[in-house]
A = this chain, B = another copy of it.
Amino acid sequence: MRDISPSWVTVNLGAQSYGICVGSGVLSDSGSYANLPSAALAAIVTNPAVAALYSEKLQTRLASHYANVLLIELPEGEEHKNYGTMEKIFDRLLRANADRSTTLFALGGGVIGDITGFAAACFMRGVPYVQVPTTLLAQVDSSVGGKTAVNHPLGKNMIGAFYQPRRVIVDLDTLNSLPKRELVAGLAEIIKYGPVSDQGFLEWIERNLDALLSRDEATLAYAVTRACEIKASIVEEDEHEAGRRAILNFGHTFGHAIETGLGFGAWLHGEAVGCGMVMAAELSARLGMIDRAYALRLRTLIERAGLPVRGPRLGEDRYLELMGHDKKAEAGELRFVLLEDLGRAGVHGAAQEMVRDVLNECTG
């Protein structure tokens, strides 16, 4: 693999500003850890599969920054993304005499990042944490921007906090161990940034999709860095999702319904979002906001990436019920992130009948 020097993206949020370090081998580079808050104790939160690959590397590096480094392994999978799993972190930290300076390192995918970030937000009312995402999806989306959460039996990500990490360390080498299905799921969130805010990036992805799928390092480095830049600029504008940040949920209302309807874990989050984007683009076209050709173009790219473009047969009523429990549903009205133009999105209401037409067209 060629040597490419790391790139840094800054998320500018005043006193909560932090850097995202993207590059090959940055996990083992002391520069990635410079100027983190000092502490006696650090804890790596991960799962057994990721630990087997990377925990030793991270432990070795952290040993020169912290007197004690704790390894906390959580069971793998979205079905464990709940408060009970967070309790395991709290137990281990308290038994190790953690204090307010103890720093958590989330080593893994989106589930590990979301749980660890929320645990850091709550433990002693907030301790520092660092995201070390090892899946493409986490690298370009969930590890950046401070949205942390666990699931509730009645809804995904219902319990959580906006709580920013102190750093995001994105080692592109970790993508070499990623199963193809997860790489593809991550591409869904990369593709997303095009239609919602950067038409030029969408066109770049269309041209470079094959290189991304074959894990060409320089191509992945550009895609991840650009995705993080776009996300950072949106988060800077609207940290707590009072407005514009909601566009990052493009495809997520339909996607969450698919994930919840099938049971967490049946489809990967990125797969559900990929399919959800097809449905949301179809709804945008039906509302006359974009040309049908643009919806089709997006569908073609999502399909080329290897993502599902038809939703599972849950039944229209079940879909509507599941979307009614989504956090973006205010006062009973169904609202969606829809495409307004090439590379531009916004939140809009849609009549139930039209949503039913889309479900009828795009599922089963």
Residues in chain A within 8 A of chain B (CB atoms): 40, 83, 87, 90-91, 94-95, 97, 99-101, 121-126, 147-149, 152, 154-155, 158-162, 240-241, 324-325, 327, 329-332
Known contacts A97-B324, A100-B330; decide if A122 and B154 are in contact (CB<8 Å). no
Question: Is the Cβ of A122 less than 8 Å from the Cβ of B40?
Answer: no
Question: Is the Cβ of A159 less than 8 Å from the Cβ of B123?
Answer: yes
Known contacts A91-B154, A330-B100, A332-B97; decide if A122 and B161 are in contact (CB<8 Å). yes
List 16 other contacts, CB 8 Å, given A94-B152, A125-B149, A125-B241: A90-B154, A94-B154, A97-B329, A97-B332, A99-B330, A100-B327, A100-B330, A101-B331, A122-B122, A122-B159, A123-B158, A123-B159, A124-B160, A124-B327, A125-B147, A125-B160
Among A95, A125, A148, the most chain B Cβ lie within 10 Å of the Cβ of: A125
Question: Is the Cβ of A154 less than 8 Å from the Cβ of B97?
Answer: no
Query: Smallest distance from the beta carbon of A248 to chain B beta carbons, Å?
Result: 14
Known contacts A125-B161, A327-B99; decide if A155 and B94 are in contact (CB<8 Å). yes
Question: Is the Cβ of B99 less than 8 Å from the Cβ of A329?
Answer: yes
Q: List, in ascending order, chain B residues with CB within 8 A of A121's CB.
A: 161
Query: Smallest distance from the beta carbon of A99 to chain B beta carbons, Å?
Result: 5
Output the nearest chain B residue to A122 by Cβ-Cβ distance: B159
Query: Smallest distance from the beta carbon of A129 to chain B beta carbons, Å?
Result: 14
Query: Smallest distance from the beta carbon of A83 to chain B beta carbons, Å?
Result: 6
Output the nearest chain B residue to A330 by Cβ-Cβ distance: B99
Output the nearest chain B residue to A154 by Cβ-Cβ distance: B94
Q: List, in ascending order, chain B residues with CB within 8 A of A87's CB.
A: 83
Q: In the complex, what distance in Å separates the CA atom of A83 from the CA atom of B150?
A: 13
Question: Is the Cβ of A162 less than 8 Å from the Cβ of B123?
Answer: no
Q: In the complex, what distance in Å separates the CA atom of A95 from the CA atom of B152?
A: 12
Output the nearest chain B residue to A160 by Cβ-Cβ distance: B125
Q: In the complex, what distance in Å separates the CA atom of A330 from the CA atom of B41?
A: 11
Tell which of B154, B162, B240, B324 touches A95, judged by Cβ atoms closer than 8 Å: B154
Output the nearest chain B residue to A123 by Cβ-Cβ distance: B159
Q: In the complex, what distance in Å separates the CA atom of A126 from the CA atom of B147?
A: 11
Query: Smallest distance from the beta carbon of A278 to chain B beta carbons, Å?
Result: 26
Q: In the complex, what distance in Å separates the CA atom of A152 from the CA atom of B327?
A: 28
Among A95, A123, A126, A152, the most chain B Cβ lie within 10 Å of the Cβ of: A152
Q: In the complex, what distance in Å separates the CA atom of A100 from the CA atom of B325?
A: 12
Question: Is the Cβ of B158 less than 8 Å from the Cβ of A94?
Answer: yes
Q: List, in ascending order, chain B residues with CB within 8 A of A161's CB.
A: 121-122, 125-126, 161
Q: List, in ascending order, chain B residues with CB within 8 A of A241's CB.
A: 125
Question: Is the Cβ of A152 less than 8 Å from the Cβ of B99?
Answer: no
Q: List, in ascending order, chain B residues with CB within 8 A of A94's CB.
A: 152, 154-155, 158, 325
Output the nearest chain B residue to A40 by Cβ-Cβ distance: B331
Q: List, in ascending order, chain B residues with CB within 8 A of A40's CB.
A: 331-332
Output the nearest chain B residue to A121 by Cβ-Cβ distance: B161
Known contacts A91-B154, A152-B90, A161-B161; decide if A325 and B97 are in contact (CB<8 Å). yes
Q: List, in ascending order, chain B residues with CB within 8 A of A126's CB.
A: 161-162, 240
Q: List, in ascending order, chain B residues with CB within 8 A of A122's CB.
A: 122, 159-161
